[in-house]
Structures are given as C-alpha cells and as structure tokens.
Structure 1
Amino acid sequence: MKFATINGNKIEATKGAVGMCTHCGAELIAKCGTVKIHHWAHKGIRNCDPWWENETEWHRFWKSHYTAAWQEFSMLDPATNEKHIADVYTDRGLVIEFQHSSIHPSERMAREKFYKNMVWVIDGTRLKNDYPRFLQARNSFRRTHHPAIFHVDIMAECFPSAWIGSDVPVVFDFKGTVTIDDPRDPRHHLYCLLPKKDSRYALLTILTRRYFIDKTISGEWSSIFSSDFERPVPNQDAQQGQGRQNSNVRKESPFVLYKGRFIRRKRL
C-alpha cells in the first residue's frame, strides 16, 4: 500500500515507521528497500483485500495525478458488508482502477458489479505482444463522424480477451512510464474501449492523458459520452495531427446491402 494512517493522517512509507491500515485497522510496517518501491505492508503474510495487487511505478505514476484523499479509498457495500479498496475514488463518485497484472474475467466482473460507476486503466506494456497487435489491427478501424472515435469490428484482434466483455470503459495505456521523443508516436495517446452496445461493432475513442485526468477529476467523465455519439467528445489536443495518424484507417463503404442488392447509401 502507498498510504497508512498515522495520527489521523494518510502518510507514505518512511524507513522505520509504523502505521495503521486505513481499510482494516491492522498495524502496518514500512518497507523501504532498494528493490521494490517504498510501501506499507501488514505484519506477516496477510492482505486485507483479495483484489489488491502489488504496486509498480506505473501505478504510482497514475495515482499521483489525484489527491491523496481519493487514493486507496476503502468502500463498503452496506447490503453485504463486503469491503474493498479502490485505487482512486473521486468526490464525484467515480472509481478508477489501475490494473497491471493479469485478471480473471470473473474477478473483473465482480469488481465492476461492486464499484458500478468505474473506469479501468490498463497497463498495455506488461505483455510484449499487446501493443504490436493493437498497432496492426488499428488499420481496420472504421471512421465515424468524429476524428477520434472509431468502430472496431473484431475486438479480439485488437485487445486482450479479458477486457473485451467489460461493462464499463476500459482505457489502454501502451506508453507506461517510458519517455518517447517522437511526438507522433501513437503511444502518447490513451485508447478507450467503450462497453459494447451493438452486436456488430464496438466503439473506441482516442484521448490525451491530460484530457482523461482532467475529466475524471472534474466529474465530467461520465457525461462526455452519449449513447449514440451525436454529441462528440469535446476538443482535445489529441485531435491535432489525427489526420496523419489515421491515414491508413479503412473508410466506411459507400455501398450497403438493401433488399438483396448493393446500393449507394445516399439513396436510402
């Protein structure tokens, strides 16, 4: 854990310190070695939340954009007394879960059911084939009326199978914490896969990191998407240069099958 409670305050780990778990109230000891990032740990082999994963620099980088009061927020379901620790819980009721390790679909569904209003942010750098697969598949994305929103026909060709059936937005971060000098590199952007509402395709939107952070902090995240995208995503820096990045994206066919024959769309 990043934080423990000391004298009523959320404090990061320092060598020799002892604190209290904000989730279960047990004693925590500071782990401040040279191999792993500094963190708090329960005494003995124990974890008070089975959903908790050991954090990486990538986790800390993302969580650092949000106030400490929102980080590692203990949440209770009063109907079942089930408790879990959200990576981030904003003052507008949005949960943000940063996921680095693999996750079983059953756990993913359980978390979505528990947190309800949430968004996943996935470390797309963990497996070496995830980004090359996405990069190759993006040539088949179909344009919509908005330059940063696309139709994805075959999600399995683009994304890890564990995330295809999610009922909440899933944001893929293929850059991680590395420095990339080329400003045109696609990894500078985030790629948000929206819950599939149409059996024919899924919707993918491209976001800047700053835009995602600002909208999740301001409380506007849940309102920027309409059901049919008649209201497009507001302007964002990522749209500059999108024409160059999407030059290889397949355009929608001008023909459609209608009553057994192909005719031009404008005739319908």
Structure 2
Amino acid sequence: MNAFGESVWHREWKAAFPSSFREKTFYSEEQSCHHRADVHTPCGTTIEFQHSPISLEELQSREAFYPNLVWVVNGKKFKGFKVLKHLPDVDDHRLAAYEFSHTANLTLFRKADLERGKPRLLTLGHPELFGLKLTSHYFSFIWKHPHKVWYEAKCPMIFDLGGYFLYRLKQRPQLSGAYAYLEMIPRKDFIAAYLG
C-alpha cells in the first residue's frame, strides 16, 4: 500500500487507462459530498477498482451515484475460489425447462420435477440434454468463503484472478435461487472496450 492506502494492484489497473480518465471527481448535491471515480471514461462509464471487501451500504451508495458503473475486484485474495469447468450457453432455449444444480457441478434438474418436489439430477449426457455444446467463455466455479456483497451488485462485477483473463460474475434466475457462473473476458479486450 502507498501513503494514500492504494495497493499496487489498484495503481496498476488505473495506469492501464490514460491519465485524463483517472481520479475524476463528481459532486453529489443529494449527499452533499464529492465522489472520486478511479476511472471515468469519455463514454460515461465509471470503473471502480476494489482491492478490499466493502459493505452492502457502500456498494449500493456507489451504484446509486454512478449510473454506468463497472466493478473490478481483486480476486487474487479470494479464499476457496476455483474456476471449474466450461458450461453450455446458459441462455440456450433448450435449457428453458431446466435449472442448474447449485451443489453438483454440470448437472441440472427439470423445473417440472422441482415444482412437484421430486427433483432428479441429470447430466449433460442425458438424452434430453444431448447435443448441448460447451462454450469457451462460460464457467462454473466454487467459492467456499464468498464475500456475499458482490452477489448483490446490480452493475457488472468483474473478478481479476491474475493472468490474461478476467471473469464477470453472472447469475441465471432460477426457481431454486440464482445460479452464479462466470463469463471469461480477455483482459486486453476489457481495457480496449473503454479506451475507444
């Protein structure tokens, strides 16, 4: 950390953007205070780099203040976090009658069976699901000790686990509760999308 409480990770992320994008200050009349965005792009997107956990109140406050906010969270510090396996396209129309299991990786339930209280696990090799191709960009994951606030974000939530790829936290609405999964994004593509 430097004298201003900023981590090396935080500074390196900000340095990926032109200095004219960094440390932009905005005044909130409603809250009678100033907010400083880590990065604010000409297209009106604010990018906040979060090295440490925050409270739900802080998350909601920032999301309410910045209309187009993207979170980038340092996931290198996550405990018990592991990217698992490729998933099929979770929005594929053939999966409309199914829900992903929260506990058994790459398995699904029929919604009708869940509603009847007689759920039966199906693998992707089941005849009803046969032919669903796995994507190269959607992944299942496990997180044994999650910072649950990140699941409450309404704005895009990007986890930086280090390396050439970032992972956007996504959630598929289900009767049994939202199914969380990851969308892999090349780091260079993420940065390029906000430079233009």
**Normalising by the residue count of structure 2, what TM-score does the alignment of the two structures yield?**
0.66
Which stretches in structure 1 are left out of the alignment for 5+ residues?
A: 1-35, 42-53, 176-186, 219-268
Cα offset for 1:75? 1.2
How far apart in 2 are the matches of 1:197 and 1:124? 21
1:64-101 superposed Cα distances (whole Å, 9 cap, x missing partner): 11111111100123455442000000011000000001
Aligned to 2:173: 198
How far apart in 1 are the matches of 2:72 and 2:21? 16
Which stretches in structure 2 are left out of the alignment for 5+ residues?
A: 93-133
Aligned to 2:26: 75
How far apart in 2 are the matches of 1:106 and 1:155? 26
RMSD, matched Cα: 2.7
Cα offset for 1:109? 1.2
How far apart in 1 are the matches of 2:136 and 2:57? 31
Residues 1:60 and 1:151: Cα distance change in structure 2 (over 3 Å) = closer
Aligned to 1:160: 147
Residues 1:155 and 1:111: Cα distance change in structure 2 (over 3 Å) = farther
Aligned to 2:36: 85
Cα offset for 1:121? 0.5
How far apart in 1 are the matches of 2:182 and 2:139? 6
Aligned to 1:31: none
Letter in 2 for 1:143: P
How far apart in 1 are the matches of 2:26 and 2:82? 34
Cα offset for 1:162? 1.9
How far apart in 2 are the matches of 1:203 and 1:215? 22
Residues 1:158 and 1:171: Cα distance change in structure 2 (over 3 Å) = farther
Residues 1:155 and 1:94: Cα distance change in structure 2 (over 3 Å) = farther
2:135 maps to which of 147, 155, 163:
147
Aligned to 2:192: 214
Letter in 1 for 2:173: D
| Greater share of strand | 2
1:190-241 superposed Cα distances (whole Å, 9 cap, x missing partner): 10113x46234345310111010001222xxxxxxxxxxxxxxxxxxxxxxx
Question: Are the equivalent residues in 2 in contact too, given 1:155–1:202 (CA < 8 A)?
Answer: no
Letter in 2 for 1:217: L
Cα offset for 1:158? 8.4
2:160 maps to which of 170, 173, 186:
173
Residues 1:148 and 1:192: Cα distance change in structure 2 (over 3 Å) = farther
1:104 maps to which of 48, 55, 60:
55
How far apart in 2 are the matches of 1:84 and 1:99? 15
Question: Are the equivalent residues in 2 in contact too, given 1:155–1:164 (CA < 8 A)?
Answer: no
How far apart in 2 are the matches of 1:93 and 1:197? 27
Task: Give % identity.
Answer: 29
Aligned length: 150
Residues 1:207 and 1:56: Cα distance change in structure 2 (over 3 Å) = same
Question: Are the equivalent residues in 1 in contact too, given 2:39–2:48 (CA < 8 A)?
Answer: yes
Cα offset for 1:189? 1.2
Residues 1:62 and 1:142: Cα distance change in structure 2 (over 3 Å) = same
Larger RCO, structure (CA 8 Å, separation 6 or more):
2
Larger Rg: 1
